[in-house]
Amino acid sequence: MNRKSPQRERRVRDDEGQEIILRGAAPGRMSDLYHGFLRAPWLVALAAVVAGFVLINLAFALGYLAVGGVAGARPGSLFDAYAFSVETMCTIGYGDMHPVSAAAHLLVTVEAIVGLLVTALVTGLAFAKFSQPRARIVFSDRVAYGPVNGVPTLSFRVGNERGNQILEATVRVVLIRTEPTDEGGVFYKMYDLPLARERSPALSRSWNAMHAVVPGSLLYGCTPEDLRRDEVELLVTVVGTDDTSLQPVHARKRYVDRDIAWGTRLADVLSVRDDGGIVLDLERFHDLAPTKPREGFPYPEAERAEP
């Protein structure tokens, strides 16, 4: 009989922190470490560099203890051997300790080569991580779904937390839902949701993205129960060019059915002062305002799905 090999499971997290269990996935490769380093927070990346530095010097320290031949080092002292390894790798060379045997000289040569490679590698990784463009794009916490000018409209807000602009910004919304197949299975399908305006010459502080739920829309005639039953998700992506670094930037946000606030609209963040000046109130970026039920959309604000 053929026996199946035990399934390997690996736990990963997406950009929003949701845990996903990968079963039967191929093991990670060494090349994945580079991508992991770039994606890791700076504190984690620096901790990895420090840990690698300590471990490499510890390995060479054990080698110096084994071969001996280091003048000025106390016999059998791991601390002295480690200090000599650090001085060698960093080309400090105080002179208090130095190799005197052929084996020690050979090990110093090997460590000098390793030190050059490690220094070049860490420098390249640090520069790649430092120069990596990172967008500070913020999305509204929830999606508003209510009448706008009499038309049921799905809307959310996108903004740039930095003081610069993202040129030629493009917003795309993909609706994901489960659909039964004729064979009795369940299939996850993805559909593009058209927006009233998908491109903007420049994205700065605030941009309202809206999808009109009219005949022909995938959401037309749907109720909160329908979205909950079909496990509807909205995947939003924003891409553009940073006008400071002139590098492409991107961000994404996932909304599930409970993130849709029925019977609401996005709260106004723009107002005009008495002197004609315009005020952009970013403190209301995530706020929603209730809408009145009307024919075709009988969902009051009080009945919207709770988070």
CA distance 277 to 283: 18
- Please classify residue 1 by burial: count the beta carbons closer than 10 Å to its beta carbon, then call 0-12 exposed, 13-18 middle and 19+ buried: exposed
pLDDT at 194: 92
- The CA-CA-CA angle for residues 185, 187, 188, to 5°, reads 155
pLDDT at 30: 58
Task: Supply the angle between the helices 42-67 and 78-89 in degrees, to the nearest 10.
Answer: 120
CA distance 90 to 104: 17
Q: Which helix (H) or strand (E) holds 293?
A: none
- Which of 55, 105, 57, 49 minimizes the C-alpha distance to 81? 57
| Token pair listed for 59 | 């390995």
CA 157 vs CA 140, 188, 287: distances in Å = 5, 26, 10
| Token pair listed for 257 | 């059915």
CA distance 26 to 46: 28
Beta-carbon contacts of 165 under 8 Å, excluding residues fewer than 6 positions away, are 202, 203, 204, 243
CA distance 74 to 80: 7
Counting every residue written for the chain, the total comes to 307
Q: Checking DSSP bridges between strand 70-71 and strand 98-99, what pairing results, if any?
A: antiparallel
CA distance 4 to 20: 23
CA 36 vs CA 8, 118, 129, 225, 258: distances in Å = 20, 18, 11, 40, 32
Amino acid at 73: A
**188: helix, coil or strand?**
strand
Q: What is the pLDDT along the chain (307 residues), one digit of tens a residue?
A: 445 545 566 555 555 556 666 555 555 565 577 778 887 888 998 999 999 999 999 999 999 999 988 999 998 899 999 999 999 999 888 888 989 999 999 999 999 999 999 999 999 988 888 877 777 888 999 999 988 888 889 999 888 877 778 888 899 999 999 888 777 777 888 999 999 888 888 887 778 899 999 898 888 888 888 889 888 999 999 998 887 777 888 888 999 988 999 988 888 877 667 666 666 677 788 888 888 887 777 787 644 434 4
| Token pair listed for 300 | 């009051």
Beta-carbon contacts of 283 under 8 Å, excluding residues fewer than 6 positions away, are none
